[in-house]
Structure 1
C-alpha cells in the first residue's frame, strides 16, 4: 500500500459529486416508495451539501486570488480561475432548478415547464462552455451532459405537465440515442483493450490502463441503460417494481464513478485556494501524513532456509558440490530395545 500513489491522481471534486448523487438517489427512491415520510427538503440534503461546498470553495478561491496578486502571474492560473467561475455560475443556476423542483414536489404550485427553465438555459449555455473547455483543455462532463440532453429536458417537462400524452418510451427517445452512442464507445474500448492485450509490443502499464478503462465504462454505461429500461416500463405501468429496485442499477454506476475518481487526475486547483493538486495540498497541510506517504507496504512471502538453499542450487549448480562437502556426516546408530 502506497498512500501517495493512491491519492496522487485523486479528483476530490468528482468524488464529492458522485457520492452526493449516490446518497440522493437512494433517499429519493425510498421517499417515492413511502418507506420514509421525510420532507423533500430533507431528501435533497446531499444536493445542498454539494452546492454549499461549491459556493464555499469558489469563495475561498476568489479570496486567495484577489488577496495574493503574485499568484496571478502564471497564465495557467487565470484559466483555472476562470474555469472555476464558470462552473460556479452553472452550479448556481442548477441550484435554482433544484430549489424549484423541491418546491414543486412539496406544494405543487408551479408548472413543470417553469421548473425546467433554468435547466434548459444551462443546456443552451453549456454548448458554448464545452467549446471554451475544448480550446483551453479543461474538463466539461456536467456541461456535456446538459448540452446533449436539452431536448430530453423539454420532453420531460411537457410530459409531466400533460401537454403531450406520449408513452415514456417515446419521451426517452433523446436519451436512447445518447445511450446508443455510449454503447458504441464502450464496445470500442473493449475491442481496443482486447487488441492491446494481444499485442506484445505494448508495455504492461498500457495494457492495464486500457483494461481498467474498458471495465470501468462497461460498469458505467450498462447499468444506466438497464435503469432507463426499468424506469420507462415502470412509468408506463408495464412492470410492478418499487422505485428502489428500479434505481438499483444506478448504484453500480455511481460506485464505478466514485472508484474512477481515484484515477481521474485533473481538477481545478483554485477550489478552496489550494493552487496545487489535492495530494500535494493535503501532504503540505498535514506534515504528519508525509511520513506515511513516503512508506510503501508490500505483502510478500518470506522463504525459509531450505527454500533459499534450493534457490541457490538452481541458480549456481557449483554450489551443490560445495554444499555436499560442507555437510556434516552424522553416524547412524542403531538402538535396539531390550526384550
Structure 2
C-alpha cells in the first residue's frame, strides 16, 4: 500500500504543483489502485507516473470544487484508450452524477467500460472482505467529505514447524488450515486450525480529507489512523484567512493529528504563495506540534507499513 501524490496545490495549478489528486496503490492486495479527487490535468500527471489507468478500480471525490473535479471527463475518456475495460466505480457528493453525465454527453465521449456513479452520504460507502471505506462531512463552503479506508485483518501465518512436528507436509492441508478450517488426518488425529495458525495481522487505516476547517468530522475520521492526509492551505500566520475561506493551517492540521493520535501526517493542498522554500517552512511549523509530519509535493510517495501483530 502506497500513497502517490499526483497534485498537491490549492485552487489552481502552479509551475511546481498541479491541483489535487492522490492515488492509493494496492497492487499486492487488489491488483489495482484507487484515486482520490481528480483536478484538471490529472491524466497528464498519471502519464508521468508509474500508474496505468487500466488499473484504476475506484475513484473517490471529496467535493465538487473545480480544482478537485475538472480533470474527471478527460481522465474517464482516456481510460478507454489506455486499455481500461474493467468496470470503474466513482463515489462523490450529490451532484457528481449530473456533472459526469452532462460532461460526457455534451462532449460525445465514449467509454468501453461500465462506469458506476454512487452519490454518497455519511457512513460506510464501500465494503468487501478486504477493506471498508466510510465517509464523514467536513466543514467547507460546500459539502466536503473525508474518507477513512480501513484494511481488514489478514489471516495469520501457518506455524510450519509445528505442522512438520505433527508429520504434516506442505500441500492441500496447509491451505485448509490457513483458511481456518479444522482437518482430520488419516489416522483420525484432529488438527484445530487455531492451534497451528498465528494471530491475525491487523490492517492499516488511511484517512484522506477534502477541503475543511478543523471539524468534528476530521477528528472522528482520523482517530488512531496510520496516516492522515490533511489539507494545509495556509501557514498559521494566516489563520484568519484560512477560517474565512474554510481551509486549515499547518498547525490546525497538526493539532488534529495530535488529538486523533495518528502515526503520520501528510499535508497537501498547499497555496501557491509557498513556492520553493515555503514548503519547508510549512513542514517545520507542523512538526513543532506533530514531529512525524510531511508536506507532500507532486509525485512524492509514502509507503504505509504493514502493522506488527503487537499492534492489534
TM-score normalized with structure 2 length:
0.29
Structure with higher strand content: 2
Structure with higher helix content: 1
TM-score normalized with structure 1 length:
0.27
Rg: which structure is higher? 1
Q: Which fold has the larger relative contact order, with Cα–Cα distance below 8 Å and residues 6 or more apart in sequence?
A: 1
